[in-house]
Structure 1
Amino acid sequence: MFNVFKKIIIVAVALWVTGCAQTSVRHHQDFEEVAKTVSTVVVLPADVEVELLTFDGENEMLEEKSTQIRNSIDAIAKAKLKEENLNVIEFDFATEIAANEDFAYAITTAKEAWGKAKEDMYQTGFVDEKKKAEFQTSFGSVLNIIADKTNADAVLLMHYSGFEKSEGLIAKDLASSVLVGVLTMGAVVPVQATSGSFIDVALVDANSGKVIWANRKPGATTDEVPASVVFSELPDLVWKSELTNTPEVASKNEEINADEAPQTP
């Protein structure tokens, strides 16, 4: 969990230093064309870990908090995808994973591929807005099994890490801050975060494996707020579902349906 805390601080500082011209958003260089082949999306259950940091170092996982956040970010993600006129497929991953070893292995492989993809996309940290679509990151064919089972054109992956400090640890941090303030005559008074979070998301074409869109954000709180910020940056692309659901196409479909309808004598 120390690594999570360190990651949150590093990302926050980098964002402050680099300013608004920089972004954490990533696209495959072909993302606009790939989007035109995507109509349906399935959302993998988010990996969520929220840990309580304690005074004595006997940290514990906050399972109830993790479940609450998982449900919240799942709802946020699906609402945003639907807002973009994408069709969200509801799929029982838990049941399929328990019954199908090959499918369970495919999920594991997909997450491993995502880990490698993140190393590729984020090795330079924030990038200029103009360069966010210069990547060639791909999962390869690892999502094909998921696509076959779910009938989805794309897969959304999410990972959320968070921490909260116990009252004892907060008191310890406060005492340390006061001591440093006294020793430096008020020149330095460190402020210790009492909670924090970090979210990673990626929307990936299930057939080609190309990363259509990826984003990551730190948060000062342990809740769904970072997810709302991340998904606010999902671009308004032209998806296949929009190409087939235009008013012109809808009108044509109505004409076809009218011609095929039985005529009353």
Structure 2
Amino acid sequence: MKKLSINLFMAVLVVVLTGCSNTAVRHHKDYQEAAKNVGSVVIFPADAEVELVVFDGDNERLTEKEVIIKNELYKIAKAKLEKENLQVIEFDFQQEAEKDENFAYAITQAKEAWNVAKQDMYKKGVVSEKNKADFQTNLGSILNFVAEKTNADSALLMHFNAFEKSDGVIAKDVTTSILVGLLTAGAVVPVQTTQGSFLDVALVETTSGKILWANRRAGAAADSSVAKGVLKELPDLVWKTEVVTPELATGEVSNSSKQ
């Protein structure tokens, strides 16, 4: 749970500081122009890790819940992207990875490149609203393979972490809070969380590797609800599907299109 705890701590810090006009959102410097070349998106299956925190520290992976959350994250992301007029391309990553080991390797490399990129993007934690588009993070050419397989102009990557405390751990936390309250005569009464989540998201142009937009946030529940808050901050850009050509702007239509 060490890695998860650190992530959650960082996320909570982000939530606190965003109240001071700071944000965890990242935009590429050229995101507005780049969006005009993006009309479709393929959604990577989310990496989801949900753990039950137990008293002896031998935490348990809640695999059934992970599958449910993966499916929910996909549905939430699909609905949001389609609302933004992006075409969501349906693609079976697992099936293709089983057939093509090169594709499977490319997916692994893409996720590793994203993890490295996050270290650079978030080394300052949160940034001011005016500086959120001051990034040029790039995953390189590794997503070209995804573009070839899916014909998608962009890819959405998601990494989800969550925890739930067992009844024994919750009881221990309650006892600790009561003792601290008694010792401090009520001046300090710790509030112990019983569950939580953390979501990292990035929208990447597949041909150039540019991370057009990224965001991260903590949630108070060990479920997919945090995704709605994260994706809500996806900017309303002019995508390729919304670009107005000179012909359309003037109302001109070619003879071939009329037939």
| TM-score of the superposed pair, with normalisation by structure 2 | 0.94
Matched position secondary structure for 2:58: coil
The 5 Å alignment of 1:119-198 reads 119-198=119-198
Partner of 2:108: 108
- For residues 46-81 of structure 1, give each alpha carbon's deviation from its aligned partner in whole angstroms, at most 9, with x where no partner exists: 000100001122211111111111111110101111
C-alpha deviation, 1:20, in angstroms: 4.0
Amino acid aligned to 2:36: K
Residues 177, 189 of structure 1: 8 Å contact kept? yes
Matched position secondary structure for 1:142: helix
Task: Describe the shift of the 1:252–1:104 C-alpha distance in structure 2 as closer, same or farther (beyond 3 A).
Answer: farther
Residues 47, 70 of structure 2: 8 Å contact kept? yes
Residues 54, 169 of structure 1: 8 Å contact kept? yes
| Alignment partners' CA distance in 1, 2:94 and 2:253 | 37
| Alignment partners' CA distance in 1, 2:13 and 2:100 | 44
| Alignment partners' CA distance in 1, 2:25 and 2:45 | 21
C-alpha deviation, 1:254, in angstroms: 8.6
Partner of 1:91: 91
Sequence identity of aligned pairs in percent?
55
Q: Unpaired runs of 5+ in structure 2?
A: none
Partner of 1:214: 214
| Alignment partners' CA distance in 1, 2:208 and 2:77 | 22
1:256 aligns with 2:231: no
Partner of 2:45: 45
C-alpha deviation, 1:9, in angstroms: 2.8
1:26 aligns with 2:16: no
Task: Describe the shift of the 1:190–1:245 C-alpha distance in structure 2 as closer, same or farther (beyond 3 A).
Answer: farther
| Alignment partners' CA distance in 1, 2:246 and 2:165 | 51
Matched position secondary structure for 1:36: helix
Q: Unpaired runs of 5+ in structure 1?
A: 260-265
C-alpha deviation, 1:6, in angstroms: 3.2
Residues 15, 22 of structure 1: 8 Å contact kept? no
Residues 41, 152 of structure 1: 8 Å contact kept? yes
Number of positions where the alignment pairs a residue of Structure 1 with one of Structure 2? 258
| Alignment partners' CA distance in 2, 1:166 and 1:76 | 28
| Alignment partners' CA distance in 2, 1:2 and 1:220 | 18
| TM-score of the superposed pair, with normalisation by structure 1 | 0.92
Determine which structure has more spread, i.e. the larger CA radius of gyration: 1
Residues 5, 196 of structure 1: 8 Å contact kept? no
Q: CA RMSD in A?
A: 1.9
